[in-house]
Structure 1
Amino acid sequence: MSEYDMIVIGGGPVGLFGNFYAGLRDMKTLLIDSQDELGGQLVSLYPEKTVYDVGGFPGILGYDLAQKLIEQAKMFSSDIRTKEWVDWIQKTDDNMWIVKTNNGGEFKTKTVLIAVGIGKISPSRLGAKGEVEYENKGVFYTVRRKKDFEGKRILIVGGGDSAVDWALTLAPIAKKVYLAHRRDQFRAHERSVKEMYQVANVYTWHELKEVKGDGSKVTEAIIFDNRTKEEKTLDIDAVIISIGYKGDLGNIPKWGVNMKGRDVLVNGKMETNLPGVYSAGDIASVDGSPKLALIAVGFGQVAIATSVAKKYIDPSSSLFAGHSSEMDKFKK
Structure 2
Amino acid sequence: MKDETFDITIVGAGPVGLYATYYAGLRDMKTKLIDALPQLGGQLTALYPEKYIYDVAGFPKILAKDLAENLINQALQYEPTVCLNEKIVKLEYLESEKILKLTSENGNTHLSKTVVLTLGIGAFVPRKLDIPDVHKLEGKGIHYIVRDKSIFKGKNILIVGGGDSAVDWALNLEGLAKHITLIHRRDVFKAHEDSLKKLFNSTVEVRTFYELKRVHGDEHVEGATIFDNRNGAETYLDVQHIILSLGFLANLEFIQGWGIELEKNAIKVNSKMETNIPGVYAAGDIVSYLGKLKLISTGFGEAAIAVNSTKNYIDPSSKFFPGHSSDFVPKKIKSG
TM (normalized to structure 2)?
0.91
Question: What is the alpha-carbon distance in structure 2 between the residues aligned to residue 206 and residue 141 of structure 1?
Answer: 19
2:151 match: 148
Q: Which runs of 5+ in 2 are unaligned?
A: none
Deviations 1:267-326 (A, max 9, x none): 22111121111111112234xx51111222211111121112112112233323333333
Deviations 1:207-251 (A, max 9, x none): 212222241x22111222233333222111100001001222233
How large is the Cα RMSD of the aligned pairs? 2.0
Deviations 1:71-93 (A, max 9, x none): 11111221222232211111112
Q: Is 1:18 aligned with 2:20?
A: yes
2:326 match: 325
Taking a change above 3 Å as real, the CA distance of residues 18 and 327 of structure 1, as seen in their structure-2 partners, is: same
Matches within 5 A, 1:292-331: 292-330=293-331
Taking a change above 3 Å as real, the CA distance of residues 168 and 328 of structure 1, as seen in their structure-2 partners, is: closer
Q: Which amino acid aligns with 1:119?
A: G
Matches within 5 A, 1:38-57: 38-57=40-59
Taking a change above 3 Å as real, the CA distance of residues 117 and 325 of structure 1, as seen in their structure-2 partners, is: same
2:181 match: 178
Q: Which amino acid aligns with 2:298?
A: V
Question: What is the alpha-carbon distance in structure 2 between the residues aligned to residue 135 and residue 28 of structure 1?
Answer: 44
Conserved? CA contact 2:154–2:178, under 8 Å: yes
Q: Once the two structures are aligned, what percentage of the paired residues are identical?
A: 48
Q: Which amino acid aligns with 1:202?
A: V
Matches within 5 A, 1:2-81: 2-81=4-83
Q: Could you tell which deviates more after superposition, 140-149 or 151-160?
A: 140-149
Runs of 4+ in 1 over 4 A off after TM superposition: 329-332
Q: Could you tell which deviates more after superposition, 74-83 or 322-331?
A: 322-331
Q: SS in structure 2 opposite 1:70?
A: helix
Q: Could you tell which deviates more after superposition, 56-65 or 202-211?
A: 202-211
1:136 match: 139
Q: Which amino acid aligns with 2:314?
A: I
Matches within 5 A, 1:78-89: 78-89=80-91
2:205 match: 201
Question: What is the alpha-carbon distance in structure 1 between the residues aligned to residue 205 and residue 297 of structure 2?
Answer: 34
Shift of the alpha carbon at 1:194? 4.2
Taking a change above 3 Å as real, the CA distance of residues 232 and 328 of structure 1, as seen in their structure-2 partners, is: closer
Shift of the alpha carbon at 1:21? 1.0
Match of 2:110 among 107, 131, 135: 107
Matches within 5 A, 1:219-234: 219-234=222-237
Question: What is the alpha-carbon distance in structure 2 between the residues aligned to residue 316 and residue 62 of structure 1?
Answer: 39
TM (normalized to structure 1)?
0.92
Question: What is the alpha-carbon distance in structure 2 between the residues aligned to residue 6 and residue 48 of structure 1?
Answer: 32
Conserved? CA contact 1:325–1:331, under 8 Å: no
Conserved? CA contact 2:52–2:168, under 8 Å: no
Question: What is the alpha-carbon distance in structure 2 between the residues aligned to residue 139 and residue 133 of structure 1?
Answer: 9
Q: Which runs of 5+ in 1 are unaligned?
A: none
Question: What is the alpha-carbon distance in structure 1 between the residues aligned to residue 134 and residue 217 of structure 2?
Answer: 11
Aligned length: 329
